[in-house]
Structure 1
Amino acid sequence: MIRTILTRPFLADAGLLLLRVFTGVLLIHHGYEKLANISNFADAFVRPLGLPFPITLSYIAAFSEVGGSWLLITGLLTRFGALAILGTMTVAIYHAVSTAGFNIYLLELLGLYFASATAILAVGPGRLSVDELIARRFSSDARSQADQLESAFSADQVSIEAVKADVVADGVG
């Protein structure tokens, strides 16, 4: 038990869990704020970039943040959630640089979200996620391990029966 708690893989998975949950929880309100006043967001952030369909793109940004955050928090389809957040943060960083230059106060939070999403996309959600449970459920390795355990159990039963037969034969003889 102590070895499990103190070894690197467990701590790495716990760290990924913390990164996913904190990134998702702290980012999700940005998406909800966009949805609360989508026209204001489109006027302030999308139209200055000269992008087409500012309202539609604003909804995409908001749903990317909200949906991506929920995917990170739950650990379900985590890489898709990280990719959605990464795309939104890329545009947000471009907007910040193009409108205010390299203003560290604007870029630091965007950079942290960008880096978190990139790390999660690159490394995956870790073992403490719904994705891992799904992968284990449908893994051929898990099936083969179950088959190996079942055959070992069957072999043990055969061995036990053979020992019982020997004991009975020795006792009778």
Structure 2
Amino acid sequence: MIRSILTRPYLSNFGLLLLRVFTGTLLIHHGYEKLINIENFADAFVRPLHLPFPVLLAYIAAFSEIIGSWFLITGLFTRLGALAIAGTITVAIYHAIATAGFNIYLLELLGLYLAAAISVLACGPGLFSVDELIVRWLETNPKLLTRLSSNFSKSSTILK
């Protein structure tokens, strides 16, 4: 029992769970706020960057924050969610620097969100996630895993 507690990385996995849940929970409202007045967000944040299709990009930013946050919270498709969040936050950091310079009060929260997303992207979701449950279920069903891998190899052959 003591060996299991001292040698298993339960605390680091619990730390990843906390990082995922808190980051997703604190970030999700930013996406919902964007959706409330998408035109205003597009005018204030996307158009000053001179990007094409500002309203479409505003929707992409909002949904990447909302869906990415839900992926982080649940631990389902976690790395995909972290990648979506990191991409959106990178553009937000660029916007903050381009419009206000290196203002620490604007950049600190964005930097924390970016660091959290990159950490989850690098470390994965941890043991306490839906992704881990899916992997464990697939490992206990080797026939299904073999069937999935053979279907994948057939589809990649067709694409060539």
TM superposition score normalised by structure 2:
0.85
Q: Gaps spanning 5+ residues in structure 1: where? A: 145-173
Q: Which residue of 2 aligns with 1:103?
A: 103
Deviation at 1:19, TM superposition (A): 0.2
Deviation at 1:143, TM superposition (A): 5.3
- The one-letter amino acid paired with 1:40 is N
Is 1:47 aligned to 2:42, yes or no? no
Deviation at 1:116, TM superposition (A): 0.3
Runs (4+) of structure 1 exceeding 3 A deviation are 1-8
Is 1:29 aligned to 2:9, yes or no? no
- The one-letter amino acid paired with 2:63 is F
- The one-letter amino acid paired with 1:26 is L
Q: Which residue of 1 aligns with 2:67?
A: 67
**In structure 2, the residue corresponding to 1:125 is in which secondary structure?**
coil
Q: Which residue of 2 aligns with 1:170?
A: none
- The one-letter amino acid paired with 2:53 is F
Deviation at 1:133, TM superposition (A): 0.3
Q: Which residue of 2 aligns with 1:56?
A: 56
Matches within 5 A, 1:10-159: 10-139=10-139, 142=140
Number of equivalences: 142
**In structure 2, distance between residues paired with 1:62 and 1:137:** 33
Using the aligned pairs only, state the percent identity. Answer: 75
Deviation at 1:70, TM superposition (A): 0.2
Q: Gaps spanning 5+ residues in structure 2: where? A: 143-160
Give the CA RMSD over aligned residues. 1.3
**In structure 2, distance between residues paired with 1:127 and 1:3:** 18
